[in-house]
Structure 1
Amino acid sequence: MSVSMTEKTCAEFSERLAAREPVPGGGGASAYVGALGTALCTMVCRFTEGKPAYAAHDESIRHTIAATDRIRRELLVLMDEDARAYAAVSAAYAIDRDDPRRADAIEAALHEAALPPYRIMVACARSLALLEELGDHVSRLLISDVACGAQLCRAALMSASLTLYANTTAMVDRKRACELEEECEELLEHWLPRADALADAAARAVRGRG
């Protein structure tokens, strides 16, 4: 890639995503969506920091700001890592079918391409945990942003899992494929219900039913 995905404007990224090109794809989009959800968590904390009503939670809020800033930057890096990894998969599949190196090249590329979506999932899970920790420590006016952050991170988590499966199902090394799939399934089973619960609680609070 000559230009990093993160260097593109929102319009340029969406146009590139819509193009008939192998990258960016679902993995990069998942990372971007996760970064947006994480950014909402940071924003909520920054509006809360220093408010007298939440002074008892200032230290925790500052910790969350630092942590979510790191996660957001990590997800942006993963946008490019996913694009590079899938470009390698595309290049491997483009090798002549009669070339004896083709099968090994595809397998190696699939192994590498499965890692960015898994890391995206882990990062989004960390963001969801931090969104959960906000609890009642934020203004009611910001609860809708907490809910939006949870829903975006949930979507990114689920979407990244599909990208991971797309790579693992094509692997010849079933042992490694199963290891990654099991870790992926554990993340989904643990975090999807928690993301739903967080978003539902926030939605009830916003609507005055919490």
Structure 2
Amino acid sequence: MKLYYAPGACSLSPHIALHEAGLAHELVKVDLRAKKTESGGDFTEINPKGQVPALELDNGELLTEGPVILQMIADTATDKHLAPPAGSSERYRLQEWLNFITTELHKNFSPLFQPVIPDDVKTFFKDRLMGKFKYIDGKLAGHDYLMGKAFTVADGYLFVMLSWADRMNFDLSGLPNLVAYKARIAARPNVQAALKMEGLLKAA
């Protein structure tokens, strides 16, 4: 498999999942502004959406959209239990979390990365995001991970959103469950491996 990524972007989520799944993969860095791969190729010829993540499968097909890629990775390595079995009630709970993260967190972060958007508008979106984080903090009470005791691909996705919150100077100190959760995910060896490969964590 070949993962097209940009360091620290939402593509970090499937990158973490690939490590957790133990699946062999190649990384191709993408300049999202120039829409160029690290070799100078036109990324839009690979993915017309011009976005990461994009995962090239071993059969040559290209899969896009993070939540879908995450589930495909989990289903390719069922022995790692990164997602409940397809069709189970727990699988729908996982999909519920993935949809919440992608619509209520991921997309609400987008305006914060745009320099042309006024500060008062950014404040509106930061306040909205804080409300979502407070909701998650409540749901994490008594739980190690979003689905309970087991790490799933949704946890890697939420970890990336929490990393973005750090970059945007969110004060999450009043959300102890979420703070402890982020530290728990960050300590996972496979998460650290993905961070190091993207240049986001210095090698020891």
Decide which structure has the larger Cα Rg and report it: 1
Same fold (TM over 0.5): no
Higher relative contact order (CA 8 A, sep 6+): 1
TM-score normalised to structure 1 length: 0.39
**Whose strand fraction is larger, Structure 1's or Structure 2's?**
2
**Whose helix fraction is larger, Structure 1's or Structure 2's?**
1
TM-score normalised to structure 2 length: 0.40
